[in-house]
């Protein structure tokens, strides 16, 4: 099968990203952020994995992004996945996500592959990632912060119990070992020596992973990856931003925000759909400079005017994420009966100041109801924002 050789003689690090034709405008925004944060003294060998990007969109991106020290090439890796059904787990995922699995095989003439998603904004020179020593690891990525809390709370996502899935399907030693592949570095030689691509391919033929190739990579490289600092993949998932689930690690996560080198607009909440999303203004400052700006605006308007059903789906998704253990079932009930629980909180608070053997019992009940109300208020605010 066809492989790719370095475009620049002295460059042995390649930057790769997958995209569909539909995502071409957003790909261009990502590339614009890469270009603006690139060094004039370095060479950027960029390859876009695709199977259906139109010649029009390819030409626009090439003419706008490519310079003397930035090369853009397109490559269709579909032949590497023949006879393999690529399971798409969510409506906002694509089969193109799987293409990263074949990257080290396709780029066997390089030393490292920096592979990223395109829903990112680069705030630093991306080639600085290539200078990180991966030690003995074949892969480097950032720990997924959301997964940690979902695991600790024993949540259900899309009818999947996270603790059970993490322990039995992914066979991970713990939730703090699950990484996000939005930004990852492959050591080409180490990855290929153990034929990782073909082993993972056999796994995805028989397992429907919750988060596609990300879960497949987590299962295969469990305990054998280099942990990148969080600043190289700073996620802006809604539950993280507002701390709606009271993350135990929230303070350490928040401290890294100002130092973020790569901003990741995680999940289905994208700045190109809603410009009021957190830090969406950073994404839009790059979008305005691209030749796709008017098209991005048109799409945003069409989506928000003609797709009210999407908002209902968002509400359903949030509810499915919080219907998990007994506590979260109580939380849903609290959300529907806020007045009743506020009265209960007041009652237990008053009872807690009464002397006697029931004093501690009422104080405990007061704390439970107070926590339920706090979490219920937070989630109701999120639902209200989505309905608007």
What CATH number is attached to the domain comprising 219?
3.90.550.10
43 found inside a domain: yes
* The residue to which tokens 């400052």 are assigned: 285
Same domain for 300 and 238, yes or no, is yes
Tokens in use for 288? 């305005």
The answer as to whether 2 is a domain residue is no
pLDDT tens digits, one per residue of 130-144:
999 999 999 999 998
Q: Say yes or no: 152 and 99 in one domain.
A: yes
pLDDT attached to residue 255: 86
Any domain includes 6: no
Query: pLDDT tens digit string along 338-371?
Result: 888 888 887 888 776 665 566 777 888 888 888 8
Give helix 55-65 / helix 24-36 axis angle, nearest 10°. Answer: 10
pLDDT at residue 387, as a whole number: 35
Q: Tell me, yes or no, whether 341 lies in a domain.
A: yes
In a domain, 1, yes or no: no
Cα separation of 33 and 28, whole Å? Answer: 9
Following DSSP, what letter does each residue of 198-240 receive, concatenated? HHHHHHHHH---TTHHHHHHHHHTTT-SEE--GGGGEE--HHH
pLDDT in tens, 45-103: 999 999 999 999 999 999 999 999 999 999 999 999 887 777 665 655 667 788 999 99
Same domain, 356 and 223: no
User: Considering the domain boundaries, does residue 340 fall inside one?
Assistant: yes
Same domain, yes or no: 337 and 307: no
Kindly state whether residues 72 and 208 are assigned to the same domain.
yes
Using CA atoms, how far apart are residues 209 and 89, in angstroms rounded to an integer? 7
Are 94 and 164 members of one domain? yes
Residues 204 and 286 in one domain: yes
Domain-located, residue 7: no
73's enclosing H/E stretch is strand 70-75
Classified as helix, coil or strand, 161 is strand
Q: What is the CA radius of gyration of the chain?
A: 23
Residues 377, 266, single domain; the answer is: no
Considering its fold, how many domains does the chain have in total? 2
Mark whether 176 and 247 lie in a shared domain: yes
Of the residues 291, 319, 347, which one is the last residue of a structural domain? 319
Where in the sequence is the domain holding 61, given as residue range(s)? 13-319
Boundary-marking domain end, from 269, 301, 319: 319
Q: What is the pLDDT of residue 353?
A: 65
Please give the pLDDT value at position 55: 97
Please say which residue of 319, 340, 369 terminates a domain: 319
123 part of a folded domain:
yes
State whether 196 and 332 are in the same domain.
no
Least reliable range by pLDDT among 17-21, 158-162, 286-290, 322-326: 322-326
The verdict on 169 and 265 lying in the same domain is yes
Q: Which long-range contacts (CB under 8 A, 24 or more apart) does 202-210 make?
A: 204/84, 204/86, 204/87, 204/98, 205/84, 205/85, 207/169, 208/87, 208/89, 209/87, 209/89, 209/169, 210/89, 210/157, 210/158, 210/160, 210/165
**Alpha carbons 234 and 256: distance in angstroms, whole number:** 8
* Nearest alpha-carbon partner for 236 in 255, 259, 257: 257
Same domain? For 238 and 381 the reply is no
Cα–chain center distance at 209: 15
């Amino acid at each position: 099968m066809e492989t790719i050789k370095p475009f620049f003689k002295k460059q042995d690090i390649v930057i790769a990203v997958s995209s569909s034709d539909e995502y071409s405008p957003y790909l261009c925004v990502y590339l614009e952020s890469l270009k603006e944060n690139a060094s004039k003294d370095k060479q950027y060998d960029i390859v876009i994995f695709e199977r259906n990007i139109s010649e029009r969109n390819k030409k626009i991106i090439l003419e706008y992004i490519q310079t003397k020290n930035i090369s853009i090439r397109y490559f269709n890796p579909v032949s590497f996945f023949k006879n393999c059904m690529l399971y798409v787990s969510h409506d906002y995922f694509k089969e193109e996500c799987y293409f990263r699995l074949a990257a080290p095989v396709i780029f066997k003439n390089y030393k490292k592959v920096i592979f990223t998603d395109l829903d990112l904004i680069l705030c630093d020179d991306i080639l600085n990632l290539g200078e990180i020593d991966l030690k003995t690891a074949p892969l480097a990525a950032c720990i997924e912060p959301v997964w940690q809390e979902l695991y600790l709370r024993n949540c259900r996502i899309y009818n999947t119990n996270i603790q059970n899935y993490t322990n039995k399907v992914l066979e991970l030693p713990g939730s703090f070992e699950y990484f996000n592949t939005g930004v990852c570095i492959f050591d080409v030689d180490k990855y290929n020596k153990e034929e990782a691509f073909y082993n993972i391919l056999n796994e995805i033929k028989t397992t429907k992973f919750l988060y596609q190739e990300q879960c497949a990579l987590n299962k295969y490289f469990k305990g054998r990856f280099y942990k990148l600092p969080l600043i190289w993949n700073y996620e802006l998932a809604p539950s993280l931003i507002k701390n709606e689930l009271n993350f135990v690690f929230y303070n350490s996560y928040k401290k890294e925000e100002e130092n973020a080198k790569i901003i990741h607009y995680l999940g289905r909440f994208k700045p190109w759909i809603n410009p009021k999303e957190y830090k969406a203004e950073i994404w839009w400052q790059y979008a305005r400079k691209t030749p796709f700006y008017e098209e991005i605006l048109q799409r945003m308007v069409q989506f928000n005017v003609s797709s009210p059903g999407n908002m209902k789906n968002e509400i359903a998704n949030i509810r499915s994420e919080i219907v998990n253990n007994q506590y979260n079932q109580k939380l849903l009930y609290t959300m529907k009966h806020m007045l009743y629980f506020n009265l209960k909180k007041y009652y237990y608070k008053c009872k807690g100041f009464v002397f006697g053997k029931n004093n501690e019992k009422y104080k405990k009940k007061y704390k439970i109801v107070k926590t339920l109300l706090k979490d219920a208020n937070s989630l109701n605010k999120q639902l209200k924002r989505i309905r608007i």
